[in-house]
Structure 1
């Protein structure tokens, strides 16, 4: 990892969600607080250490989090003292990197602390001893280790993983022979000549680390053995909360209200069977689009999210979750997105998600899923999901690893980027200097309620610093507002714009803006990059300069009012689409109505009745979708 400059570290401090790896201190000398932070960075598993900046402080007058240098008066003394203390005051000698730079004329010291090896942990202050002398990095604070923390750090020294440990009180009777046969069937599909297919049940369990010998030489099931091949009774007995909850929510936000109850389907089974059952439950519930391939008589159904993305997301949640934590995997289906929530933060640091190489806390389970093609072990799952979502014209997925709450969240929007309705909605931000990347972030905030630095990075493939600058610029322009929840910073649409959203359906016309209430907004030339979707060859082109609308149809349009009969509006739409294909945005402009209202109340009923058809039938939500009259209607 390249060493960042001190100005780069100062800018990262502006994002609280990065605070777990950076600590700022004004102190002019090395002291107890700095040593506790060094100890915490050394101990925290999977954090890869962290950085300490000395001689800086937060600007109390700044609207957003801004850190400024105040300088170190005697940097040589601080550096020499740190080197001595880190070498002598801990139970193991530590060797942090220390350097200094001048920022705005002030000397600032940076300390890079490396994570200690598993054999060295727990690192603690010798004078204080255990447990009070050991610290962990939780969020952006240093916490004294509890007995549970020390047990976790000591267990990290062991060569075996948790899924390779014996389950107390479990016996071979807790293994389901049918689950073993299920494994054989899946393995046979991958490699029909695999040697282990000829093993007896006991030998197969030994090969897969499903059973191990205890201190008395008796073969007993391991955690992996029960989770992969356990009977239903054994799963409930030993892992009562190791299930998948598929939750269906009405609307776009979680509402814990007795009057707005949600539906939950609880699924329990050995892992490979659980993957198939959960995948089927999701696919049966998701909305689908229909397409009729050329030369075929049977229509094909395509789920709102590619099936392989669903499979990858589900397997990742079950394979990488923490089985020490007794809580279920939750899959929440909102009106506009699917969220996978599993206990256990990612062992791979968030900025490296999608890079080659896999780090799993359950290697025995991962190996069995890999052998049956349920999972891969090269760390390419997230990269594949991103590619498939983008190829389908969908919003890139967002992945959040939350260490303090020990959970991982993957979000997949059903939303296609960037539709005609999105273009129409974005026009309300007249005067704002928006890039295409900003547009993606604003639409994500509209759909989910907020956007974070990590989400901006996922959407646009930016680094932390660039995302931070872009988000702060949107705040400066009054488009977003910064919020804090605990240690994290997130950004919501500014209140003026959320009021615009609420008024769209009330006005019956083009959306209003804070500075021009009730007025239609002309195209401000916002450049939004193409999402890469190709238009089929047989889709009719819409001319750059479409022919003028005949006077007779213009007269019909002029006669329409805000309370016109539905059939009158639909007749005008059909007449327009008989002239040439019209996009939803064009129809909304001609009829002075919002695209959302026009689509739901007029256009989609015409499509369902057969009066109109898509110009791109196999991709109903394609951003360049248009409508034309059907051959039947023309006759």
Structure 2
């Protein structure tokens, strides 16, 4: 955070603190005249249970102009005295007194509560907990509370015992295929000498329940190896929706819902090959299809997309009861799964993993369904850059509990781009990337710079401020509506997608029966 304490306007404050596009999501702007506004403690509670946020007191609710004569000392006292009375367990926000347009305001900073403290409850609301979703505060659901309590206990969501499911609910054919793949890949692996029950215990897919004196399937075991009817009954939202759109811009309306097909879920070990076959119809690489057998030249784009789809399956939040969705446009492909990334997006190019479902990830890694844990992001980035395309865009949203990766079908930093950006003299590489992105995409936001350069919000804001100071970019709007456009002439280098037709390959015979159009 910046050390500045005086600002000319609210916009100046938000831009300096790297919050220019966060108003409404992570920033609330309130009056505070006459005391703490209604909903203040609900927002503190919601921010503490999710991604954190900021509450600015001393502004008009509608015009966002500074209010004179706000009782700053009274507000500070009310906040300090209310922490222990309003929240359980108490969380302590940080207070800063700043000057905006010559008037004092308070900036309340709420950090996400530690895992061992969540869920945080609001006592005055009948001991209910709240979470932040977009610009709204919503009450924690039973699934939210269960997820937090599991994390507090050091357990993963996929280790939770479903109850009433055992070995008889397994698909023996799926388990045999798992053994066969392991045999082909690692013929001396220790798991091959074990019985089915011992293998599942070694994979931590069976959990011993002392009060029942028996081994039961947990979520990981049922999801990876369960019979389809039981997988679908416990996880009805386990499916992949594929939407195709002819235009680059997507706006879901009654008139424009795209062309939809659905790949229904079953045991994850068998579901992944279904998705790999279906993958061939999701993008136009150099692929040969002969005699029902798929053959292809080594293709880094295929590798990147496969990694993204398998990661969406393995790392999704199965408690969220939402579908994985793949959206295909003429200029890009988006893969969205329920469940935000526990690994910060800016660290995706570095090794290290924080899997939401570590048991599923481990079982997948053994049979090489996924690369070594912690390298998925770098594989996607390296593969796409190797192909010479624009780096993929990662968007992880805690408040929406979703993760999206976007692949662009456009080359990045072409020779024409390099020649164009050189006209503006020396500048840091991050500034060049941001400027070319703004040129090729007509506009950009702070979030685009974060993804493009791997920066946090504040560093990305500094990049934009430097380009704005050089009068190369112009700021439009405020808060979450803020975006930047070029102030200098540009020659678009994007390919013309208006006449481009994507070629969708036929689904392999083994998958066609499972794809409901």
Structure 1 residue 309 displacement after superposition: 0.8
1:34 equivalent to 2:40? Answer yes
Among 247, 250, 259, the alignment partner of 1:262 is 259
Q: Residues 197, 387 of structure 1: CA spacing in aligned structure 2 closer, same or farther, 3 A cutoff? A: same
Hey, what does 2:110 align to over in structure 1? 113
Hey, what does 1:489 align to over in structure 2? 481
Hey, what does 1:51 align to over in structure 2? 54
Hey, what does 1:25 align to over in structure 2? 30
Structure 1 residue 349 displacement after superposition: 4.8
Among 297, 312, 334, the alignment partner of 1:301 is 297
Assess if the C-alpha contact under 8 Å between 1:421 and 1:596 holds in 2.
no
CA-to-aligned-CA distance 1:36-74 (integer Å, 9 cap, x gap): 322222223xx2x333333356894xxxxxx77657766
Q: How does 1:117-136 map to 2 (within 5 A)?
A: 117-131=114-128, 134-136=129-131
Among 390, 393, 409, the alignment partner of 1:395 is 390
Assess if the C-alpha contact under 8 Å between 1:246 and 1:332 holds in 2.
yes
**In structure 1, C-alpha distance between the alignment counterparts of 2:69 and 2:347, rounded to whole Å:** 34
CA-to-aligned-CA distance 1:525-552 (integer Å, 9 cap, x gap): 98x9xxxxxxxxxxxxxxxxxxxxxxxx
Q: Residues 4, 346 of structure 1: CA spacing in aligned structure 2 closer, same or farther, 3 A cutoff? A: farther
Structure 2, unaligned runs of 5 or more: 288-294, 422-430, 501-517
**In structure 1, C-alpha distance between the alignment counterparts of 2:322 and 2:358, rounded to whole Å:** 20
**In structure 2, C-alpha distance between the alignment counterparts of 1:224 and 1:405, rounded to whole Å:** 24
Assess if the C-alpha contact under 8 Å between 1:279 and 1:310 holds in 2.
no
Q: Residues 179, 451 of structure 1: CA spacing in aligned structure 2 closer, same or farther, 3 A cutoff? A: farther
1:280 equivalent to 2:272? Answer no
TM-score, normalized by length of structure 1?
0.62
Hey, what does 1:250 align to over in structure 2? 246
**In structure 2, C-alpha distance between the alignment counterparts of 1:272 and 1:322, rounded to whole Å:** 17
1:311 equivalent to 2:306? Answer yes
Q: How does 1:187-586 map to 2 (within 5 A)?
A: 187-188=182-183, 191-214=186-209, 215-254=211-250, 262=259, 264=261, 266=263, 268-283=265-280, 286-289=283-286, 301=297, 303=299, 306-350=301-345, 353-354=348-349, 356-376=351-371, 379-419=374-414, 437-444=434-441, 451-465=444-458, 467=460, 488-489=480-481
- Partner-residue secondary structure (3-state), 1:280: helix
Q: Residues 227, 452 of structure 1: CA spacing in aligned structure 2 closer, same or farther, 3 A cutoff? A: farther
Assess if the C-alpha contact under 8 Å between 1:124 and 1:130 holds in 2.
yes
Q: How does 1:127-166 map to 2 (within 5 A)?
A: 127-131=124-128, 134-145=129-140, 149-150=144-145, 152-166=147-161
Q: Residues 393, 218 of structure 1: CA spacing in aligned structure 2 closer, same or farther, 3 A cutoff? A: same
Structure 1 residue 104 displacement after superposition: 5.6
Q: Residues 201, 345 of structure 1: CA spacing in aligned structure 2 closer, same or farther, 3 A cutoff? A: same
- Partner-residue secondary structure (3-state), 1:197: helix
**In structure 2, C-alpha distance between the alignment counterparts of 1:34 and 1:92, rounded to whole Å:** 17
Structure with more contact order per residue of length (Cα contacts < 8 Å, sep ≥ 6): 2
- Partner-residue secondary structure (3-state), 1:288: coil
Structure 1, unaligned runs of 5 or more: 61-66, 291-298, 428-433, 498-522, 529-584, 586-593, 601-635
- Partner-residue secondary structure (3-state), 2:333: strand
Assess if the C-alpha contact under 8 Å between 2:134 and 2:400 holds in 1.
no
Assess if the C-alpha contact under 8 Å between 1:289 and 1:302 holds in 2.
no
Hey, what does 2:89 align to over in structure 1? 92
**Higher alpha-carbon deviation: 237-246 or 395-404:** 237-246
What's the C-alpha RMSD, in Å, of the aligned pairs?
4.6
Assess if the C-alpha contact under 8 Å between 1:288 and 1:302 holds in 2.
no
Structure 1 residue 217 displacement after superposition: 2.3
Structure 1 residue 200 displacement after superposition: 0.9
